[in-house]
């Protein structure tokens, strides 16, 4: 593996913090789609090419990390003009971070957000030290973004405290910070309420790029405002998966004798269209 820390490149992929710091400087947001297979990775590249936008691909621990890294490299070599980084989403352990980095990920997220502050700091710092040694950036979470299904209980319990964010960044050395300002993973039971004052206060106090998890079904107006007030990366999973499934279903309903390749293609078009919609909302067009 060719590692050049100075340029932020690890082989053909780029460190995530490089992409996000440029976006932060220029005042736009970056959509981070969750992928699950080779087709979804290809759709991300197509979206980036169509908009001339940077791309941060998020893959969680439940997918085949080695396969996703290989496919991402394949498309990065085919389309070298696309600035792309590959980030492990919600890495739960030191081992998971090592495995992703070995596979070729250029960023890892550490999620120890449910652990006590000191434990979260200690475990994150260990991963930061290891990742930085091989030119890989780290995103980590302080406060806790819960599940939309449990929104009424999770929302207030997990909100990020400004002083915690400052201390956490200082003590861990992370490159990007995921914060909890009222979003939730998956579909909301109830209406999403975002704490924009908290976001503004954290943005003022912390200099590194800020990440918003649980972008799906938060509402375009809320997300556009969050980006405007200082969120740089917005994670998207549920809305893309639902849009893809809906498009596949519509194709099956409209065609008498559909074949699997056609259904997959229709589904991925739905995934990509929804992704592009969000990328435009965050102002990512024509950035290279």
Helix (H, G, I), strand (E, B) or coil at 142: strand
- Active-site residues, by number, are 89
Residue whose Cβ sits closest to Zn ion: 213
Stretch that binds Zn ion, among 22-30, 34-42, 53-61, 213-221 (CB under 5 A): 213-221
Please count the other Cβ atoms lying within 10 Å of the Cβ belonging to residue 95.
Answer: 9
- Residue 184 CB, shortest distance to Zn ion, in Å, is 9
Please count the other Cβ atoms lying within 10 Å of the Cβ belonging to residue 203.
Answer: 18
Stretch that binds Zn ion, among 6-14, 24-32, 126-134, 207-215 (CB under 5 A): 207-215
Nearer to Zn ion, 236 or 276 (CB): 236
- Residue 90 CB, shortest distance to Zn ion, in Å, is 6
> In sequence order, what are the residues at sequence separation of 6 or more whose Cβ sits closer than 8 angstroms to the Cβ of residue 123?
94, 110, 112, 115
Stretch that binds Zn ion, among 121-129, 205-213, 222-230, 270-278 (CB under 5 A): 205-213
**Which residues, 134 to 193, sit near Zn ion by CB under 5 A?**
none
- Phi and psi dihedrals of 57, rounded to 5? -95, 130
Fill in the per-residue mask, 88 to 117: x = in contact with Zn ion (CB under 5 A), - = not in contact: ------------------------------
Q: CA 238, 240, 244: angle at the middle one, nearest 5?
A: 115
* Strand (E) or helix (H) holding 225: helix 220-228
Whole-number Å distance between alpha carbons of 145 and 143:
7
Interaction between residue 213 and Zn ion (CB under 5 A): yes
- Residue 164 CB, shortest distance to Zn ion, in Å, is 18
Stretch that binds Zn ion, among 65-73, 79-87, 210-218, 266-274 (CB under 5 A): 210-218
Nearer to Zn ion, 18 or 178 (CB): 178
With CB under 5 A, what is the number of residues at the site for Zn ion? 1
238-243 long-range contacts (CB < 8 A, ≥24 apart) are 238/185, 238/186, 238/187, 239/215, 239/274, 239/278, 240/33, 240/34, 240/216, 240/271, 240/274, 240/275, 241/34, 241/271, 242/216, 243/270, 243/271, 243/273, 243/274
Fill in the per-residue mask, 39 to 78: x = in contact with Zn ion (CB under 5 A), - = not in contact: ----------------------------------------
- Residue 208 CB, shortest distance to Zn ion, in Å, is 18
Q: Which residues bind Zn ion (CB under 5 A)?
A: 213
């Amino acid at each position: 593996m060719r590692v050049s820390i100075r340029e932020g490149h690890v082989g053909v992929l780029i460190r995530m913090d490089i992409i996000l710091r440029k976006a932060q400087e220029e005042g736009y947001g970056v959509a981070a789609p969750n992928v699950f297979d080779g087709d979804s990775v290809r759709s991300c590249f197509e979206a980036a090419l169509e908009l001339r936008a940077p791309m941060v691909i998020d893959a969680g621990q439940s997918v085949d990390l080695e396969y996703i890294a290989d496919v991402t490299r394949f498309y990065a070599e085919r389309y070298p003009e696309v600035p792309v980084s590959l980030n492990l989403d919600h890495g739960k352990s030191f081992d998971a971070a090592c495995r992703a980095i070995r596979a070729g990920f250029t960023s890892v997220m550490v999620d120890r957000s449910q652990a006590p502050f000191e434990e979260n700091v200690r475990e994150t710092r260990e991963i930061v030290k290891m990742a930085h040694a091989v030119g890989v950036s780290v995103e980590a979470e302080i406060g806790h973004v819960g599940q939309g299904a449990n929104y009424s209980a999770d929302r207030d319990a997990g909100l990020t405290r400004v002083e915690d964010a400052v201390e956490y960044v200082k003590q861990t050395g992370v490159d990007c910070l995921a914060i909890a300002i009222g979003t939730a993973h998956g579909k909301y039971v109830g209406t999403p309420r975002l704490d924009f004052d908290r976001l503004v206060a954290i943005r003022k106090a912390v200099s590194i790029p800020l990440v918003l998890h649980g972008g799906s079904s938060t509402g375009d107006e809320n997300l556009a405002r969050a980006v405007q007030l200082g969120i740089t990366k917005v994670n998207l999973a549920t809305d893309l998966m639902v849009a893809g499934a809906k498009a596949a279903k519509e194709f099956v309903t409209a065609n008498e004798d559909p074949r699997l390749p056609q259904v997959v293609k229709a589904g991925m078009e739905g995934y990509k269209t929804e992704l592009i919609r969000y990328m435009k909302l965050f102002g990512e067009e024509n950035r290279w």
